[in-house]
Amino acid sequence: MYDIIIVGAGPAGLTAAIYGRRAGKKVLVLEKDTFGGQITFSPKLENYPGFEAISGNELAQRMLEQALALGAEIDMDTVVEVHDGFIKEVIGENSTYLGKTVIIAAGSKHRRLGLDREEEFIGNGISFCAVCDGAFYAGQHVALIGGGNTALQEAILLSETCSHVTVVQNLPFLTGEAKLVQALEGRKNVSYLFSTVVTAYEGSSELEQIRLQNTQTGEEQILPVDGLFLAVGTEPENQPYRAVTDQNDYGYIIADENCRTGRDGIFVAGDCRTKAYRQVATAIADGATAALNACRFLDQ
């Protein structure tokens, strides 16, 4: 029996674990995939307080080590369902876990374009992480889909090793921070296709080219590429919690700034909840808030 079961070991979940253990609660963290969540895909964080620059991997590792040092239990399992009640049942693929409170910090996953053969080409020409896979395309031509902060960070990193990077953006402009846009300016091996979308992936066993269409003129073209990086945002992974939470049309769990859901003893933190901003700093704030409120609930 745990006082707090936390689903997800990203910044929000690990922060919740740290706060829960410091309050003397018995804490279990369940993670199905990667400790650290989405930040592990960021080669450099420059807006996290206390560090002029730090990699997402290093920051995640430090959080994990701190939670473990405080005595949090961490297990690898995929949660498929949560049952509400005086005692909560968290149903995983490997086991069932009992807790007095639950903090859902499930985060989000990389958004796909939803085109034919997309899943087939993931790992065979389609990637999501430049820091993970960029080295495989050194000296080659890659396409980068997206125009936000993550996309621009990926483009900067890829431009340092790839022969050419073509940024494909569905809008007429880039939406990332001005600092990142400026960092890309003047890089002769980076070009842009604005108001353009990918309509098809083509290749035999690996991705060889993509079909593109200009959304303003309707003009179509084929772009041969050695690889493609998708950076078109993320989507929440909240399907297992539909029975115990209210969710908006986009699948985010509806909660107030106190990270409370509509169920007693069930809280939500991080990118999987409704909120204005999704940053590492806001995820950590959520983790602390959710844990403090879970402790208050337990101590009533």
pLDDT (tens digit, 9 = 90+) per residue, 30-39?
A: 999 889 987 8
Residue 189 sits in the same domain as residue 94: no
pLDDT above 90 (res 159): yes
Q: Average the pLDDT over 258-278 and give the result.
A: 93
Q: Average the pLDDT over 47-76 and give the result.
A: 94
Residue 26 sits in the same domain as residue 84: yes
Residue 38 sits in the same domain as residue 92: yes
| 221: Cα within 13 Å, side-chain hemisphere | 11
- Chain centre distance of CA 277: 13
Residue 69 sits in the same domain as residue 132: no
Per-residue pLDDT, 32: 93
Instruction: Between 30 and 234, name the one with better pLDDT.
Output: 30
pLDDT above 90 (res 108): no
Instruction: With cut-offs at 50, 70 and 90, classify the pLDDT of residue 169.
Output: very high
Per-residue pLDDT, 131: 77
How far is the C-alpha of 76 from the C-alpha of 178, rounded, in Å? 39
Identify the CATH number of the domain in which residue 126 sits: 3.50.50.60
Q: Average the pLDDT over 249-267 and give the result.
A: 94
Q: What is the sign of the dihedral through the CA atoms of 88, 94, 242 and 288?
A: positive
Sort strands 141-145 and 164-168 into parallel, antiparallel or unpaired: parallel
pTM over 0.85: no
Residue 123 sits in the same domain as residue 210: yes
Residue 77 sits in the same domain as residue 178: no
How far is the C-alpha of 296 from the C-alpha of 106, rounded, in Å? 22
Q: What is the sign of the dihedral through the CA atoms of 63, 34, 268 and 263?
A: negative
Q: Average the pLDDT over 274-292 and give the result.
A: 93
Residue 105 sits in the same domain as residue 238: yes
Instruction: Say if residues 99 and 82 touch (Cβ distance below 8 Å).
Output: no
Q: Which residue has the tokens 């876990």?
A: 97
Residue 181 sits in the same domain as residue 197: yes
Domain boundary among 177, 198, 230: 230
pLDDT above 80 (res 101): yes
Domain boundary among 192, 214, 230: 230
CA angle 15, 20, 24 (to 5 degrees): 145
How far is the C-alpha of 187 from the C-alpha of 184, rounded, in Å? 6
pLDDT above 80 (res 148): yes
Residue 195 sits in the same domain as residue 50: no
Q: Cα-atom radius of gyration of the chain, to the nearest Å?
A: 21
Query: Helix/strand/coil (H, E, C) string of the chain?
Result: CEEEEEECCCHHHHHHHHHHHHCCCCEEEEECCCCCHHHHHCCCECCCCCCCCECHHHHHHHHHHHHHHCCCEEEECCEEEEECCCCEEEEECCCEEEEEEEEECCCEEECCCCCCCHHHHECCCEECCHHHHHHHHCCCEEEEECCCHHHHHHHHHHHCCCCEEEEECCCCCCCCCHHHHHHHCCCCCEEEECCEEEEEEEECCCEEEEEEEECCCCCEEEEECCEEEECCCEEECCHHHCCCCCECCCCCECCCCCCECCCCCEEECCCCECCCCCCHHHHHHHHHHHHHHHHHHHCC
Instruction: With cut-offs at 50, 70 and 90, classify the pLDDT of residue 173.
Output: very high
Instruction: With cut-offs at 50, 70 and 90, classify the pLDDT of residue 214.
Output: very high
Average pLDDT, the chain: 94
* Token pair listed for 149: 């902060």
- Chain centre distance of CA 12: 12
pLDDT above 80 (res 58): yes
Domain boundary among 210, 230, 250: 230
Residue 172 sits in the same domain as residue 260: no
Q: Please count the structural domains in the chain.
A: 2
**What amino acid is encoded at 145 in this protein?**
I
- Residues tagged active-site: 129, 132-133
Residue 124 sits in the same domain as residue 226: yes
**What amino acid is encoded at 139 in this protein?**
G
| Domain enclosing residue 15, as ranges | 2-109+234-298
How far is the C-alpha of 214 from the C-alpha of 113, rounded, in Å? 16
Q: Which residue has the tokens 């808030």?
A: 289
Residues in CB range of 188: below 8 A, 6 or more apart: none
**What amino acid is encoded at 197 in this protein?**
V
Residue 209 sits in the same domain as residue 142: yes
